[in-house]
Amino acid sequence: MTETSDETGQGIPAPEGASDLIDTDYEIGQDNIDGNVGPFGFDIHNPVFLISGLAIVAFVFYTLALPDQAGAVFSWLFSAVTKGFDWFFLGAANLFVIFCLLLIVTPLGSVRLGGADATPDYSYIGWFAMLFAAGMGIGLMFYGVSEPMSHFSSAMGGTAVEGGARTDWAPLGAAGGNEQEAIRLGMAATIFHWGLHPWAIYAVVALALALFTYNKGLPLTIRSAFYPLLGERVWGWWGHLIDTLAVFATLFGLATSLGFGATQANAGLNELFGVPVGATTEVILISAITAIALISVVRGLDGGVKVLSELNMGLAALLLLFVLFVGPTVAILTGFVDYLVAYVQYLPALSNPVGREDVNFSQGWTSFYWAWWISWSPFVGMFIARVSRGRSVREFVICVLLIPSLVCVLWMSVFGGTAIQQVVQDGYTAAQDAPLELKLFKMLEQLPLAGITSLVGIILVIVFFVTSSDSGSLVIDTITAGGKVDAPVPQRVFWCIFEGAVAIVLLLSAGGLASLQSMVISTGLPFTVVLLIMCYAIYKGLAAERQKR
Amino acid sequence: MFKKIMVPVDLAHADRLEKALACAGALASQFGAETIYVGVSAAAPSSVAHTPEEFAQKLSAFAKEQAQRHGITTGAHAMTSHDPATDLDPTLMKAVDETGADLVVMASHVPNIADYVWPSNGGTLASHAKASVLVVRDS
């Protein structure tokens, strides 16, 4: 007698329906080494775990031993990448958006991740909370007020030309002196950086990984998406290289933003409670964030990561509603529609990859952002893939591309819109003048219950870091275990602590954070090529699924 | 004394389970009990199977093989978990209820210092399950 879930209604979701498994001799975990370190078990991919671990240590040492040289090398690399390849980033990101939109409307969108009859692993709310918290939660806290404000101010300032080149930072042709148009242009530029393009970048990576894992039966790791291109070679050095690069970008991306986040949270705490600013407070903050992340990863995906993500989304929604109703409600709501129209109106010009006159804006802002989102995409994409089984491709793209974009528009309209109204209507410029990390709090100061809302703001900042840190540790652990999602728990504990330790070491060294962050963003260039190949792989993979049905 | 025996198995390391499997087989034939083999997998492909469906098939094959070897009646009960590395305990607890087992026979390592931080799955099940639990050490 055998008994499966179709009898009990639980356990395995009964036959999953047609899918097109790739026939490979590779067995997941065949290159792994397992054993014990003291009492703790491990099961790691050889050589990805060792190479990426050692390379990370080597880079940290290099940055610490030769800070000036490392700083110079990485900032040159960063500038060469974002300035020299701006056309490539902008063009590629446009392609990703078009590719995703096409998936919604073509028959390929009906393919289901996990087989034709698979059922979703998570409810809409849990799923959405997790992909948002991992994807950009923290950025919204810092840039929700500051970015619309920056673009608004520079657009108001008009253009400045020196030696035939624009020296101002305004988007497109600016809107010198025209307040209403400067607001629209500023909001459109902000939404451009937080809307369709970044989410299309995440969606491409996530879809490629989910497809090749759940429908093709390959391990949950970045290299699997290259199977259509590289074939069996993907299990060799090509694959090792791709996976190592992904671990590298993820860990340094997380560690550097953890380091910067700690300095920003410290500034906020200082403003609110007079907590002293300095290395001691920041190290305590990083340790606390890492400790909470540690509890979360040990509790696992459902008991830790999902719970924290939902908690955070709930808090963020409360703060959003509070500002919406207590702030200039009518202006925000009419603004929301107006900014959305402005976004669509300015989108062709903003996304144009060649012949741009607003070089400071298109290279310093857009190209930087695209490189940044792309360098984060292996991490966020893999995490989204992990939790997206059972969704159809069309549902997946709508929920990963369109809905988060709309939420970002709403967020920016509420937070940025309120701060801009404070300047325009009330002449209150504290938020405009404040440094980046304080803008949100200066804006909240003008609203009632500022003490409570600022505290909620600080908690959100900290918990958003935790939700990036814990999901990042899970992703790195899975990649370095050769795609095994059930590797021993001490391994994810190791990565979580390692990430906090790297952040602390970099924080304590002068300029270490900035130079390594430049390096991370530079990895956006090779990953853009990776993403383009993924689009091809997704197309091939989906077409094969369709034929199978 | 016992009607249904549940045996959690890790198909990736079936070789380490010999003692527990032999023990379960002997008890099952002694009491004429049905033995249900429970396996837990993630939805993502693993070294054992590419899909949850394939995992369930392999578990069934395993159960049939055990039936022949020990001359007992067996069944298989496959479970999926989002994060098996951390959710194994609650998943197995659920399996005890779902299978209606009155005895669990489970392999476990000899405890070491790590068990103070992460108790073994066998130990946790013995502490919390309503059914009787026999933890079989692997040495």
Interatomic CA distance for residues A212 and A385, integer angstroms: 10
According to the model, what pLDDT value does residue A3 have? 35
Mean pLDDT is lowest, of A183-187, A223-227, B1-5, B117-121, for B117-121
Rounded (5°) CA angle A508-A255-A301: 140
Query: B134 vs chain A: nearest CA distance in angstroms?
Result: 23
Question: What's the gap in Å between the CA of A116 and the closest CA on chain B?
Answer: 13
Omega before A13 cis (within 30°)? no
Distance CA B75, CA B59 (A): 9
Contact status of A486 with chain B (Cβ, < 8 Å)? yes
Q: Give the whole-angstrom CA distance, residue A252 versus residue B33.
A: 55
Q: What distance in Å separates residue A299's CA from the closest CA in chain B?
A: 6
**Helix (H/G/I), strand (E/B), else coil: A9:** coil
Interface check A23 vs B, CB under 8 A: no
Q: Answer whether A302 sits within 8 Å of B83, measured CB to CB.
A: yes
In this prediction, residue B33 carries a pLDDT of 95
CB-based contact (8 Å) between A18 and chain B?
no
Measured between CA atoms, the residue of chain B closest to residue A306 is: B82
B107 φ, ψ to 5°? -75, 145
Closest A-chain CA to B113 = A39
Give how far B108 is from chain A: nearest CA, Å: 14
Tokens for A99? 């590719």
Detail the DSSP E strand segments found in A17-74.
32-37, 40-45
A338: CB partners within 8 A, 6+ apart: A184
Euclidean distance between CA atoms A75 and A61, whole angstroms: 17
Q: Note the residue count of chain A.
A: 549
Provide the token pair at A243.
Answer: 């996976």
pLDDT value at residue A320: 94
Residue A35's DSSP bridge partners are A42
* Mutual angle of helices A48-65 and A237-273, in 10-degree steps: 50
**Residue A286, by phi and psi: left (phi above 0), alpha (psi -120 to 50) or beta?**
alpha
Q: Which amino acid is at A426?
A: D
Going residue by residue through chain A, which has 549 residues, state the pLDDT in tens, using 9 for 90 and above: 333 333 333 333 333 556 677 777 787 778 888 887 777 778 888 888 999 989 888 988 888 888 888 888 888 998 899 889 999 999 999 999 999 999 999 999 999 998 888 889 899 988 888 888 887 767 888 888 989 999 999 999 989 998 888 899 999 989 988 999 999 999 999 999 999 999 999 999 999 999 999 998 899 999 999 998 888 999 999 999 999 989 988 888 888 888 888 887 888 888 888 899 988 999 999 999 999 999 999 998 888 999 999 999 999 999 999 999 999 999 999 999 999 999 999 999 999 999 899 999 999 999 999 998 998 899 899 999 989 999 999 999 999 999 899 999 999 999 999 999 999 988 888 888 888 778 888 899 899 998 899 889 888 888 888 988 899 999 999 999 988 888 888 899 999 999 999 989 888 887 778 888 888 888 899 999 999 999 999 999 999 888 766
In residues, how long is chain B?
A: 139
A214 vs B contacts (CB less than 8 Å): 43-44, 51
Number of A/B CB contacts below 8 angstroms equals 124
Does B57 reach chain A within 8 Å, measured CB to CB?
no
- The DSSP annotation for A226-288 comes to GHHHHGGGGGTHHHHHHHHHHHHHHHHHHHHHHHHHHHHHHHHHHHHH-PPPSHHHHHHHHHH
Which chain A residue lies closest to B84 (C-alpha atoms)? A486
Give A31's strand partners: none
Q: Which residues of A258-296 are buried (b: 16+ CB within 10 A; e: fewer)?
A: bbbbbbbbbbbbbbbeebeeeeebbbebbbbbbebbbeb
Stretch (H or E) spanning A492 = helix A489-508
Q: Which domains does chain A carry?
A: 28-102+130-548 (1.20.1730)
Alpha helices in B45-116 (DSSP H): 52-70, 84-99
Three-state DSSP state, A526: helix
Sign of CA dihedral A53, A56, A62, A67: negative
B42 touches chain A (CB under 8 A): yes
Chain A hits for B113, CB-CB cut-off 8 Å, are 38-39
CB-based contact A300 B113, cutoff 8 Å: no
Residue A328: per-residue pLDDT: 92
Distance CA(A72)–CA(A156), nearest Å, equals 34
Give A251's Cβ-side CA count (13 Å radius). Answer: 31
Q: Which of residues 59-98 of A touch B (CB under 8 A)?
A: none
Six-digit token string for A310: 């939902």
Cα A43 vs. chain centroid, distance in angstroms?
28
- Note whether B5 and B27 are within 8 A (CB): yes
Residues of chain A positioned with their CB less than 8 A from the CB of B5: none
Nearest chain B residue to A300, by CA: B86
Distance from CA of A381 to the nearest CA of B (A): 15
- Chain B CB contacts of A35 below 8 Å: none
Residue window 232-291, chain A: list those with CB within 8 Å of chain B.
none
Query: Which class for A311: exposed (0-12), middle (13-18), buried (19 or more C-beta within 10 A)?
Result: middle
Which CATH number is associated with domain B26-42+54-137?
3.40.50.620
pLDDT of res. A19: 67
> Strands B4-8 and A32-37, how do they pair?
unpaired
CB < 8 Å to A39, chain B:
112-115
Q: Which chain B residue shows the shortest CA-CA distance from A214?
A: B44
For A452, the token pair is: 């409570």
Question: Which pLDDT value is given to residue A532?
Answer: 95
What ipTM goes with this model? 0.83
Chain A CB contacts of B73 under 8 Å are 1
CB atoms within 10 A of CB A178: 14
Do B47 and A1 count as a contact with CB atoms less than 8 A apart? no
Given an 8 Å threshold on Cβ–Cβ distance, is B52 in contact with A13?
A: yes
pLDDT value at residue A435 = 84
Chain B residue with CA closest to A386: the answer is B44
Q: Which helix (H) or strand (E) holds A51?
A: helix A48-65
Task: Note the helical H segments in A387-449.
Answer: 393-397, 403-426, 430-433, 439-445
Q: In A, which residues are within 8 Å of B84 by CB distance?
A: 485-486
Candidates B10, B48, B53, partner chain A, best to mutate (most A CBs within 10 A): B53
Which chain A positions have a beta carbon within 8 Å of B114's beta carbon? Answer: 38-40, 490
**Is the minimum CB–CB distance between A4 and chain B shorter than 8 Å?**
yes
Measured at the CA of A107, the angle between CA A102 and CA A111, to 5 degrees, comes to 105
Q: Look up residue A167 and give its two tokens.
A: 């020296």
Chain-chain contact of B73 with A1 (C-beta, under 8 angstroms): yes
Selecting from A11, A302, A304 the residue whose C-beta is nearest the C-beta of B77 gives A11
The SS3 call for residue A121 is coil
The partner residue sitting opposite B77, judged by closest CB among A3, A217, A300, is A3
- Report the relative pairing of strands A161-162 and B34-41 from DSSP bridges: unpaired
Interface test with B, best of A2, A113, A121 (most B CBs within 10 A): A2
Q: Is B65 on the interface with A (CB under 8 A)?
A: no
Contact criterion met (CB below 8 Å) for A42 and A27: no
Quick one: pLDDT at residue A6? Answer: 35
Q: List all residues 6 or more positions away from B101 whose beta carbon is below 8 Å from its beta carbon.
A: B4, B5, B6, B36, B131
- The half-sphere exposure of B27 on its side-chain side, counting CA atoms within 13 A, is 25
Asked if the model's pLDDT at residue B62 lies above 90, the reply is yes
Identity at B118, one-letter amino acid code = W
State the smallest CA–CA distance between residue A485 and chain B in angstroms: 7
Q: Contact, A531 vs A204, CB < 8 A?
A: yes
Residue A112 CA to residue A109 CA, distance in Å, equals: 8
